[in-house]
Amino acid sequence: MLAPLPTFAALTGSADGHPVLRIEGSNTIGSALSPALVKGLMQQENFQDIRQDVSADPLVQRVTGKAANGQVAIVEIAGKGSSSGFGALQANGAQLVASARPISASEAALFKDAGDMHSDGAEQVIALDGLAIVLHPNNPLQQISRQQLAAVFAGEIKTWEELGGKGGAIMLYAMPADSGSYQTFTESVLAPQGKSMSAGTILVADSAKLAEAVGLTPQAMGFVGQAYSGKLKTLAIAETGVPASLPSAAAIGSETYPLSRRLYFYSRPHSADPWAKALLEFTQSPKGQAIVAQHGFIAQTVEASAVAPTADMPEAYRSLAGEARKLSLHLRFKEDSAKLDSKSMQDLPRLLDYLKQQDKLQRKVVLVGFGDAKADPARTALLSKLRAMEVSRQLGKNGVIVRDILALGDALPVAGNDSEEGRLKNRRVELWVY
C-alpha cells in the first residue's frame, strides 16, 4: 500500500528571507494548482499565517507561511512556460519544474551528469489533463477531426463555413510557444500533418485569460487545459478508427482522449532538497491528489465502473464486461517494450492499495493486454500477452494472484494507429475486477 506521508521536521523558513523553494514552468500548473499544493503541504506541517500573493511580475506568485520556529518560509512559483522551467532548473534558478509535457531529449541531456531525468526520483506525473478545443458557448459545432484541427490552426481552413458551420472568419487563440500547451498541441496535432501554427494566432500567456477571451469572442477557437474550459463549448475530436471523444474525466483519466496529457513535476535526480522532496511526496498522497481534483484536473485515483457489452467487442471481452468492472487506470509501457513506463510504476502502489482495501487480492483481477496493429498479428498478440504477464509479475510480488490473463492484440484501439502517440496509447493493460 502507499507509504504513510512522513512529517518533515526539516521544513523551516529562511532566516535571510530568501525563498526556500522555487517552482518554475507551466502556467497551466503554476497559476492555481502549484500554489494550492504548497498551501496544502504547509497546512499539514502546521505552518501559520499562510497566504498567497502575486509579485510585481503577474506570472510569479509567492506562498508564505510561518514555521514553528518563527521563521517565514517563502515558496516562489513562476508560471512562465514549461521550457522556462527546465532552463531554470539547469541554471539552479529553481528546484522544481512544473511541466505540461514530458521533458525533451535535448533538455534531458543537459542533466546527464546528474542522472536519468526519466527516473522515478526525477520525473513524477502529478495529474492528468486534456487540451480542450474550446469555442464560444453559442457555437453549434460538435466535433472536429485531428486533420481538420491541424488545418484550422495552420491557417488553411479560415472560416466556420468550411467546417460546416457559420460565422465567417475563425479567430485563433493559443498559449505562447514556450508553454507546454503550445508544444503539446504542436507535437500532437500540427507536426504529424507537416504543419505549423498560423502567424495570425493570438497568443495569451495565462490559461484563465485565454479561456476568458474565447468566451467573449463568438468567432473564436482556442485550446486550453481542460481545467480552464469552464462553461466554454468543447469539441469532440475524431480519429481514424475510433469514436470521437470529448475531454471527459473518464477519457482523460484513462488517457484515451486524443489530446490527453500528463502533468509533471521534475527535480534533479537524487535531489536532497527537503522542500522539493516534501512537496513531491505530498502531491502523490491522497491529500495531494484531492487538491488536484479540486482544481479541475484528473487525480490519479483508482475507481471501478461498469462497461456495457457491445457487439464489436471480442467474445471474451464482452463476457468480461458483462460480469466484472473495469478500473480507471490503464497501465502503459515504454516504446516497443514490455516494461512499464514511469507513470505506471507510480500507479502500482495505488492499485495495490485499492485491491487490498476492496479485498481483491485473490483471484479477483483479470488483466487484459492490448497492442498496436503490426504487419504480423501474431507478434502483436504476443506483445499484448507479455505486457499483461509483466503486470501480473509486478502484482504477484505484492501478494496479488490474478484470476486470468487475456491477450487481445490490436482489438479495441483507443487511439488512431496512424501516429506514434496513438500507437503508444494502444499498448496498454486494462485491469478488471470481480
Residue 1: pLDDT above 80? no
Q: Enumerate the domain spans of the chain.
A: 21-126+262-294, 130-253, 302-433
Q: What is the pLDDT of residue 423?
A: 87
Rounded Cα distance between 98 and 224, Å, is 16
Closest CA to 368 of 384, 379, 382, 383: 384
Residue 210: pLDDT above 90? yes
Residue 7: pLDDT above 50? no
Closest CA to 252 of 228, 225, 231, 230: 225
Q: What is the pLDDT of residues 222-254, one digit of tens each?
A: 999 999 999 999 999 998 888 899 999 999 999
CATH superfamily of this structure's domain 21-126+262-294: Periplasmic binding protein-like II (3.40.190.10)
Q: Identical fold at 130-253 and 302-433?
A: no
CATH superfamily of this structure's domain 302-433: OmpA-like domain (3.30.1330.60)
Closest CA to 351 of 396, 302, 390, 403: 302
Element (H, E) at 88: helix 82-90
Question: pTM here?
Answer: 0.88
Segment 411-422 mean pLDDT: 87
* Cα 46 to Cα 7, 9, 11, 50, 182, distances in angstroms: 10, 11, 10, 10, 38
Q: What is the pLDDT of residues 84-126, one digit of tens each?
A: 999 999 999 999 999 999 999 999 999 999 999 998 889 999 9
Q: What is the pLDDT of residue 333?
A: 86
Q: What is the pLDDT of residues 356-377, one digit of tens each?
A: 999 999 999 999 999 988 878 8
Which has more pLDDT, 18 or 334?
A: 18
Q: What is the pLDDT of residue 196?
A: 97
Q: What is the pLDDT of residues 278-323, one digit of tens each?
A: 999 999 999 999 999 999 999 999 999 999 999 999 999 999 999 9
Based on its alpha-carbon atoms, the radius of gyration of the chain, rounded to whole angstroms, reads 22
Residue 430: pLDDT above 70? yes
Residue 17: pLDDT above 60? yes
Q: What is the pLDDT of residue 9?
A: 52
At residue 347, what is the residue type?
A: D
The cell for 13 is: 523558513
Segment 192-206 mean pLDDT: 96
Residue 272: pLDDT above 50? yes
* Cα 202 to Cα 149, 170, 197, 215, distances in angstroms: 16, 11, 11, 14
Decide if 144 contacts 292 (C-beta within 8 A).
no
Strand, coil or helix: 368:
strand
Segment 212-220 mean pLDDT: 97
Q: Which CATH number fits domain 130-253: 3.40.190.10, 3.90.25.10, 3.30.450.90, 3.65.10.10?
A: 3.40.190.10
Segment 137-165 mean pLDDT: 96
